[in-house]
């Protein structure tokens, strides 16, 4: 069944102590969620073990990493494998974030390999897609996002696709304070669902959670999440403050 999800991407923020304090504050303010709703936290690699321990008593909150390497193991100094994440009790991994695509030159082929590594190691994937401003201005965002999804995911079986959560994150909205309107988000999410339906069938598309990301905050989350094809959000800046993030979680209901 399709889940409603709010996921936090802490990016390269917070020391260990600050991270622990934030999780503690979330713990104290967390509303009770129904079975069809969940929260995911993606702290930096260094925080994963500590966060896993803190989350042990929180059944609605799951642990994600922000990246994994595209090979299984070997001489890749500074990198982290999907198997290592699994052994650290991580459940999800974010793959294809626009910052990874841009700053670390992660291309479609590499991202498809990362997806394979994650699934081989029984991690679920939050797969990000989204267009830059010039593509939005040219009104070619639908085909741009469609090609990202095809390149990253269409080699998967229907069964494997069940382990994927999609996150639509228009690059012009990330960290800019410029949120997509609910109509823009709904249009794209509906398009993404139709792309999935064409390849995998309507049932697979209906079961897929598609999150919106890009300057989502407590004040605009309810309107975005009310769109029929928006199943929650991937949250950057606003996930670093407990009160703000809890406000976004409240907007799930
Ligand atoms: C993100 O980078 O995934 C994101 C959505 O960032 P922000 O919420 O800060 O725009």
CB contact at 8 A, 128 and 158: no
Q: Tell the residue nearest (CA) to atom 4 of ligand 1.
A: 236
CATH 3.20.20.70 fits 4-251, yes or no: yes
Terminal C-alpha separation, the chain: 17
* Atom number, ligand 1, closest to the C-alpha of residue 167: 3
From the candidates 47, 62, 69, 97, give the one annotated as an active-site residue.
Answer: 97
Q: Tens digit of pLDDT for each residue in 176-197?
A: 888 899 999 999 999 999 999 9
Task: Round the CA-based radius of gyration of the chain to a whole number and report it.
Answer: 17
**Enclosing H/E stretch for 128:** strand 124-129
Decide: 106 and 100 in contact? Cβ < 8 Å: yes
Cβ–Cβ < 8 Å for 64, 40: yes
Residue-wise DSSP of 82-124: HHHHHHTT--EEEE--HHHHHHS---HHHHHHHHHHHHHTT-E
Question: Could you tell me the distance, in angstroms and rounded to a whole number, from the CA of residue 221 to the centre of ligand 1?
Answer: 13
The single residue of 99, 106, 131, 169 carrying the catalytic annotation is 169
C-alpha pair distances (Å), 111 with each of 55, 115, 151, 189, 244:
28, 6, 8, 21, 31
Cα of 239 vs centre of ligand 1, distance in Å, is 9
Ligand 1 atom 1 nearest Cα? 236
Domains of the chain, by residue range, sit at: 4-251
| pTM attached to this predicted model | 0.98
**Any catalytic annotation for residue 169?**
yes
Q: What pLDDT is attached to residue 59?
A: 85
Q: Across the 253 residues of the chain, what is the mean pLDDT of every consecutive 10-residue run?
A: 96 98 96 93 98 91 98 98 98 98 98 98 98 96 98 98 98 91 98 98 98 96 98 98 98 92
Asked if 24 contacts 242 with a C-beta cutoff of 8 angstroms, the reply is: no
The question of whether 155 is a catalytic residue gets the answer: no
CA 72 from centroid of its chain's CA atoms: 22
Taking the centre of ligand 1 as the mean of its atom positions, its distance from the CA of residue 96, in whole angstroms, is 13
Ligand 1 centroid distance, CA of 169 (Å): 8
Tokens 């996921």 found at: 7
Residue 110 CB contacts under 8 Å (≥ 6 apart), including other chains? 70
């Amino acid at each position: 069944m399709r889940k409603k999800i709010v996921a936090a991407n802490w990016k390269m923020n917070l020391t260990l102590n600050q991270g622990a304090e934030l999780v503690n504050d979330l713990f104290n303010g967390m509303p009770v969620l129904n079975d069809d709703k969940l929260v995911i936290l993606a702290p930096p690699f260094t925080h994963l073990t500590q966060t896993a321990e803190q989350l042990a008593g929180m059944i609605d909150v799951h642990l994600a990493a922000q990246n994994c390497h595209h090979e299984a193991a070997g001489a890749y100094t500074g990198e982290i494998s999907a198997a290592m994440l699994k052994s650290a009790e991580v459940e999800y991994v974010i793959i294809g974030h626009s910052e990874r695509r841009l700053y670390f030159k992660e291309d479609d082929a590499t991202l498809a390999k990362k997806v394979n590594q994650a699934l081989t190691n029984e991690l679920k994937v939050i797969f990000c897609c989204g267009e830059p401003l010039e593509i939005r201005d040219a009104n070619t965002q639908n085909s741009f996002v469609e090609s990202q999804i095809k390149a990253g995911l269409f080699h998967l079986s229907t069964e494997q696709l069940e382990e994927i959560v999609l996150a639509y994150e228009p690059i012009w909205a990330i960290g800019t304070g410029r949120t997509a309107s609910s109509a823009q988000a709904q249009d794209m999410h509906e398009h993404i669902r139709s792309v999935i339906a064409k390849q995998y069938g309507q049932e697979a598309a209906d079961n897929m959670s598609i999150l919106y990301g890009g300057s989502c905050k407590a004040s605009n989350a309810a309107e975005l999440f009310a769109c029929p094809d928006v199943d929650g959000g991937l949250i950057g800046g606003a996930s670093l403050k407990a009160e703000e993030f809890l406000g976004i979680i409240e907007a799930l209901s």
